[in-house]
Amino acid sequence: MILPIVTYPDKRLKVVSTPVSEFNAELHTFLDDMYETMIQTNGIGLAAIQVDRAIDVLIINLPNDDEEGTQDKANLLEIINPTITYSEGTTVYQEGCLSVPKFYEDVERFEKIGITYHDRHGNECSLDAEELLSIAIQHEIDHLDGKLFIERLSYGRRKKFEKEYKRMQKEKKTGK
Ligand code: QAP
Ligand code: CO
């Protein structure tokens, strides 16, 4: 089932998510729905709060690096109750977000991170991430904390976002 995406400036995106304690069939169906929704909307990462569930769940499915933008379900990461255990260095990447459609801007993040988390069965897992995976995980963990990438922009880039956002609202109203 495709779920509706909550978009900025909806206040529900500011809610802090809470840990999952039951790794049951309902959770598995929800994870499957999140995946279907993310693929349908051309996303590479999605947090539960973006489909209006304030629970510590995120999924990531990075594109294959050979062809152009194809995704393999075999590479799907389902990350539940994540904790960052270490972080190292800094890196800048032009990010986007399904909840902030059509806006992309440079954000500074840790270069490498380590996390512990649960899989869909409640097994304890750990993962060392760098490059795009590290960025994607940090972006999605921010969602669990009620935070959007636009809140991490430099002052000038945030102003640029506000301006573009206002222009888009105006275009919507006047029928462009
Ligand atoms: C988060 O972002 C992310 O504006 C996932 O019109 C960001 O999937 C991971 C998307 C940066 C790694 C690096 C955005 C789709 C998808 C849009 C997404 C849009 C259509 C964003
Ligand atoms: Co996002």
**Cα-to-centroid distance, 7 and ligand 2 (Å):** 10
Quote the CA–CA distance of 106 and 91 in Å, as a whole number: 10
Residue to substitute in 50, 65, 95, 113 for testing ligand 1 pocket (most ligand atoms within 8 angstroms of CB): 95
Inter-residue contact 65 to 75 (CB < 8 Å): no
The bound ligand whose nearest atom lies closest to the alpha carbon of 136 is: 1
Q: Which candidate, 27, 5, 2, places its Cα nearest to that of 81?
A: 27
Quote the CA–CA distance of 94 and 21 in Å, as a whole number: 34
102 lines ligand 1 (CB under 6 A): yes
Q: Which amino acid type is present at position 163?
A: K
Quote the CA–CA distance of 148 and 14 in Å, as a whole number: 8
pLDDT by position in tens, the chain (length 176): 999 999 999 999 999 999 999 999 999 999 999 999 999 999 999 999 999 999 999 999 999 988 778 999 999 999 999 999 999 999 999 999 999 999 999 999 999 999 999 999 999 999 999 999 999 999 999 999 999 999 999 999 999 999 999 999 998 888 76
pLDDT of residue 176: 62
Render pLDDT for 117-135 as a digit per residue (tens, 0 to 9).
999 999 999 999 999 999 9
135 lines ligand 1 (CB under 6 A): yes
Quote the CA–CA distance of 113 and 85 in Å, as a whole number: 7
pLDDT of residue 134: 98
Superfamily of domain 11-174: Peptide deformylase (3.90.45.10)
Quote the CA–CA distance of 63 and 39 in Å, as a whole number: 11
Three-state secondary structure call for residue 176: coil
Closest Cα to atom 11 of ligand 1 = 95
User: Which residues belong to the active site?
Assistant: 140
**Cα-to-centroid distance, 171 and ligand 2 (Å):** 24
114 lines ligand 1 (CB under 6 A): no
